[in-house]
Structure 1
Amino acid sequence: MPEFRVRARILGRELVLSEDVTSDVYAALSVQFKELTMSIRCAVESIRRCCPNLMGRSRCGRLSSRMSTQCGEVETTMSASSAPADDDDERPSILSKAVAVLRCFSASSRVMTLSDISRASGLPKSTVHRLLGRLVDLGVIERHRSGYMISLEMMTLAATNTAAGLRDAALPYIAALHRWSGRGIHLSVLRGMDLVYLESIAPAKGKGPVHVIGSRTPGTCTASGRAIMAWEFNVEGLTPNLPDPLPKMTPLSLTSVPDFMNQLSEIRRTGLAVERGEEVAGYSHIAAPVLQNNFAVAGLSLTWGIDESVDSRVTDALEATAKQIGLACREALIRTGRPDWFIKEV
């Protein structure tokens, strides 16, 4: 393990702290010093927490770097023989830590305190404090009373995603189908083997599942995921990428890969995908693919009670709506001069 020392000179007094610490702790502290964003008091407190059994000065050869702040001077030193390798793959970068902070927020945790984020991310409070300050300066995070939340600027950036453009084009048709059928309706795209929800509207009457925008679920358990996968250019090429057994969301979820592939063949033939109680217990979904250039870029699904019969008029309306959305996307692409897009871009 590398040897680590901090010398703090405050109000003319010298305080020397030395301790053997892990390379992860050294990397985290050295980033703090290099970026000049922590005060001397925060740095010393951070080291005290990480190094409870403080020792005297080391007599080993050292490599030094200095930082000056309004509060004083800090010198960090490490023995040359025990310096950690400069391997970016071994140490978390400042960017990866910032992303870890952002991923702490969710639909159930829209506003979080510094302590909340520290616990959720596993990062020290001092590191989280420094990252939040920088993210606030960049407009990525906003302060909210005594806590923090994702900024509206991030919503603006997310709206530039091609999937968001598809959602914009689909909304008028989704709203019309919802008014006419009264059923819960969901628009989603596939990312890897996960289904990501772009829109989810509750049934006009009664109860039904509503999904958080941007939430993910195993695509193999869903009607929309199956509708999209059935229109892959090389459906058989999916088999090596599928987990065996398939993931389960309810006791009724299909787990057999051969049975799943047979379902995809049937969906390709009929144009509709159906699951009964495999995604949400007590509910069924029927889905149609949104096609662009003969490739499924999204899935549009309706919710049914698991014991309800499917009305053919509603399924016809579902297929017609999916086609209308596909045409609307096509027209939008032509206007932007990119009619060949929406193969893998969405």
Structure 2
Amino acid sequence: MHFLSRSAILNGVPLKIPENLAQTSSEAKIKMKTVDSSQNAISKALRMLSLLAQSHDPLRLGDIADATGMPKSSVHRILTILADESYIEPTGDGFYQPGNGLRVLAAGMEGHSGSGIEATLTGLQRSTQHAVFLAVLSGEAVVYTHKVDPKLSYSIAPDVGSQLPLFTSAAGKAMLAFLPDDERDHLIGDAATRDLADDLARVRDAGFAIDHGGADPSLCSVAAAVLDNNGYPVAAVCVSSLVFVLDPAELAAMGRPVIDAADEISRRL
């Protein structure tokens, strides 16, 4: 390897950068540009999520572009990605609103507070002595975001992050019953039956839903919807056990405390 002397450098001898070092420098610049671009995209997506989360009404693409100062093309591209990941959802008429993914994040953050969702769920578990869950809608299923297990020799399924069918689970029917008619009809689609319609009508009247071996042959549950200020079901509180432990009548007797827990969480939203 050849090195230039200090005097040669001071006398103006051109410094030749080895090819491998020049290539490394070029690659580093490309990586820095890629990182800067990724950070910029993340920043834009967070600004848009924050805007939608704070808005009481769905927003048009143009409204989001004006509020964030971003080009409509960039807004559309980011909205498409966020919708694919369920963090936002288009309403079908050119408007966008928070999606189930964002609601899961919100529920998870609220659960970190000792006086928030976790405390309410823990109180319900202590009073019923059965497993307690919080679930949110995710397409045609419900996703469980919180779980408080009783101190038993066995664990009651499902685990946090698990999904159960929307139309057969108690948590799913509790939320489905309080959805706007058009959204509920869209979700039900070809699964619509007179029995399901009658079942959802009973849920609306009673304020809670019961499932005894429908979603899972070994499980039974009673659930009530958590409603926001507009009466929209953002989640459901659910008490679950094994089918040979609780019969339908015993589940129904737990309906009132489950509703009370759901209402308490609604007031915290």
TM-score (norm 2): 0.54
> Which protein is richer in strand relative to its size?
1
Kept in 1, the 8 Å contact 2:156–2:241? The answer is no
Deviation at 1:210, TM superposition (A): 2.9
The within-5 A match list for 1:75-224 is 161-168=105-112, 169-205=116-152, 207-224=154-171
Query: Whose RCO is larger (CA < 8 A, sep 6+)?
Result: 2
Rounded to whole Å, the distance in 1 between the matches of 2:109 and 2:256 is 25
**Residues 1:269 and 1:206: Cα distance change in structure 2 (over 3 Å):** farther
Deviation at 1:163, TM superposition (A): 2.9
Aligned with 2:220 (options 256, 259, 284): 284
Matched letter for residue 319 of structure 1: I
- Per-residue CA deviations over 1:189-220 (Å, capped at 9, x if unaligned) read 10222211111233333545233322323222
Kept in 1, the 8 Å contact 2:222–2:251? The answer is no
1:272 alignment counterpart: 208
**Residues 1:273 and 1:183: Cα distance change in structure 2 (over 3 Å):** same
Kept in 2, the 8 Å contact 1:208–1:303? The answer is no
Kept in 2, the 8 Å contact 1:167–1:198? The answer is no
**Residues 1:231 and 1:167: Cα distance change in structure 2 (over 3 Å):** farther
Rounded to whole Å, the distance in 2 between the matches of 1:187 and 1:328 is 14
- Per-residue CA deviations over 1:278-314 (Å, capped at 9, x if unaligned) read 1222221110111111121110111133242316653
Kept in 2, the 8 Å contact 1:186–1:300? The answer is yes
Matched letter for residue 240 of structure 2: T
Kept in 2, the 8 Å contact 1:200–1:210? The answer is no
Matched letter for residue 213 of structure 1: V
2:242 alignment counterpart: 305
Per the alignment, in what secondary structure is the counterpart of residue 190 of structure 2? coil
**Residues 1:206 and 1:160: Cα distance change in structure 2 (over 3 Å):** closer
1:244 alignment counterpart: 190
Rounded to whole Å, the distance in 2 between the matches of 1:208 and 1:258 is 35
| Cα-Cα RMSD | 3.0
Matched letter for residue 288 of structure 1: A
Per the alignment, in what secondary structure is the counterpart of residue 161 of structure 1? helix
Rounded to whole Å, the distance in 1 between the matches of 2:216 and 2:140 is 18
**Residues 1:216 and 1:264: Cα distance change in structure 2 (over 3 Å):** same
Deviation at 1:240, TM superposition (A): 3.8
Q: Which runs of 5+ in 1 are unaligned?
A: 1-67, 71-94, 96-157, 246-255, 330-346
Matched letter for residue 126 of structure 2: R
Kept in 1, the 8 Å contact 2:104–2:145? The answer is no
Rounded to whole Å, the distance in 2 between the matches of 1:202 and 1:261 is 32
1:323 matched to 2:260? The reply is no
Q: How many residues align?
A: 167
Aligned with 2:175 (options 212, 220, 228): 228
Deviation at 1:69, TM superposition (A): 6.6
